[in-house]
């Protein structure tokens, strides 16, 4: 069984000033998604599903199919690609969209857009985050081990000190889990950084207090492993979400909310998988030079070939 990689690439890049999904950051103009797909193929994935917006789908699909035309999976078969669009009006029947809403419905809604095209365990990632080879190996192994499972999901957790920014504080969801390694909660912390006294701290979103964090605490970077039954359960929860929020302009349906709801209802459990990889990504335009430098270093050390695809 070859897992599927689902790439969330529908973001409009308003804070970044352009489409991050298509920005060449590697030594030969590679995008962050290029590296994710390279790592996923090495980890045994067989298909990539892109979640995009309609207005740039044609451009992105053309670029992708040309770039990866010769890429083979580890078993020698061609790597497959599917493109699905996320739009505001893609909501269940019976709901009327507020005409003033412009903000997308969120990451969990984006995943649901692929419900009709995924029938195997799959891994969700952000298109503008670099997750590292080890993370894809861990996620791929989990998917293959759960080919016939239901109601069991996983999150790949990164050590907090492997996700910090040189530009200032970041927001991180700290994973809480029980003795069996099952996720119990994801607690959002804002302005996570090493304070002048050398202590790593973050502002707890629940209590409002600035609290000390452990460098090896695992946090969510939106890398999830799901079995196909996730789609049906998430769709039901989305209907409940819309009943309360259909008239809202900014509330979004996020993956952690969907998973947390399933856990609390006893519908599913979620394994917490630690990874030793270092995360990096682009949120603001100011992040770009540091990311370019990191990819240049990885190429110089022979971690990746350049160009990635010939």
Q: Tell me if 306 is assigned to some domain.
A: no
Residue 57: its pLDDT value, please? 85
Query: 88-122: per-residue pLDDT in tens?
Result: 889 999 999 999 998 889 999 999 999 999 999 99
CB 190 within 8 A of CB 202: yes
Residue 21: its pLDDT value, please? 58
284 or 257: which leads in pLDDT: 257
Q: Write down the mean pLDDT value for the chain.
A: 91
> How many domains does one find in the chain?
1
- The tokens for 285 are 């335009």
Query: 231-250: per-residue pLDDT in tens?
Result: 999 999 999 999 999 999 99
Residues 140-158: what's their mean pLDDT? Answer: 96
CA dihedral 276, 281, 287, 291 (to 10 degrees): 70
133-145 and 32-42 helices, crossing angle to 10°: 50
Residue 206: its pLDDT value, please? 86
Q: Tell me if 308 is assigned to some domain.
A: no
From start to end of the chain, where are the E strands? 4-8, 47-52, 80-85, 122-126, 129-130, 152-159, 170-177, 183-194, 200-204, 210-212, 218-226, 269-275, 280-281
Q: How far apart are CA 111 and CA 230, in angstroms?
A: 10
Query: 168-220: per-residue pLDDT in tens?
Result: 888 999 999 999 999 999 999 999 999 999 999 999 988 989 999 999 999 99
Q: Tell me if 287 is assigned to some domain.
A: yes
76-85, 271-280, 285-294: least confident range: 285-294
125 or 10: which leads in pLDDT: 125
Q: Tell me if 200 is assigned to some domain.
A: yes
pLDDT at 68 over 80: yes
Range of the domain at 115: 4-300
pLDDT at 15 over 70: no
Residues 276-302: what's their mean pLDDT? Answer: 89
Q: Tell me if 279 is assigned to some domain.
A: yes
Q: Tell me if 309 is assigned to some domain.
A: no
Query: 25-36: per-residue pLDDT in tens?
Result: 989 989 999 999
Q: Tell me if 307 is assigned to some domain.
A: no
Q: What is the CATH number of the domain that holds 123?
A: 3.90.550.10
- Whether a cis peptide bond, with omega within 30° of 0, leads into 307 is yes
- Binning the chain into helix, strand and coil, the percentages to the nearest 5 are 30, 25, 45
**This prediction's pTM:** 0.93
Q: Tell me if 32 is assigned to some domain.
A: yes
Q: How far apart are CA 6 and CA 248, in angstroms?
A: 27
pLDDT at 14 over 70: no
């Amino acid at each position: 069984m070859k897992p599927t990689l689902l790439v969330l690439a529908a973001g409009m890049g308003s804070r970044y000033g352009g489409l991050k999904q298509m920005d060449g950051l590697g030594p030969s103009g590679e995008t962050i998604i290029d590296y994710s797909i390279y790592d996923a193929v090495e980890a045994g994935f067989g298909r990539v599903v892109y979640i995009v917006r309609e207005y740039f789908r044609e451009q992105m699909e053309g670029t992708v199919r040309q770039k990866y035309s010769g890429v083979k999976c580890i078993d020698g078969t061609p790597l497959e690609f599917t493109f699905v669009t996320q739009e505001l009006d893609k909501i269940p029947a019976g709901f009327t969209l507020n005409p003033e809403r412009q903000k997308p419905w969120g990451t969990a809604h984006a995943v649901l857009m692929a419900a009709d095209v995924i029938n195997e365990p799959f891994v969700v990632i952000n298109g503008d985050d670099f997750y590292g080879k080890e993370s894809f190996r861990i996620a791929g192994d989990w998917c293959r081990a759960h080919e016939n499972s239901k109601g069991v999901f996983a999150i790949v957790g990164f050590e907090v000190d492997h996700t910090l920014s040189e530009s200032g504080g970041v927001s991180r969801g700290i994973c809480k889990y029980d003795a069996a390694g099952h996720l119990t909660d994801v607690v959002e912390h804002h302005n996570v950084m090493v304070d002048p006294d050398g202590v790593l701290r973050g502002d707890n979103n629940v209590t409002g207090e600035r609290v000390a964090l452990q460098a090896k605490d695992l946090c969510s970077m939106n890398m999830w492993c799901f079995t196909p039954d996730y789609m049906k359960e998430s769709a039901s929860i989305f209907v409940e979400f819309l009943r309360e929020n259909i008239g809202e302009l900014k509330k979004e349906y996020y993956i952690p909310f969907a998973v947390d709801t399933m856990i609390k209802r006893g519908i599913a459990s979620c394994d917490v998988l630690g990874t030793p990889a270092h995360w990096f990504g682009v949120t603001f335009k100011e992040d770009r030079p540091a990311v370019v430098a990191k990819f240049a270093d990885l190429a110089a050390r022979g971690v990746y070939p350049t160009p990635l695809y010939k």
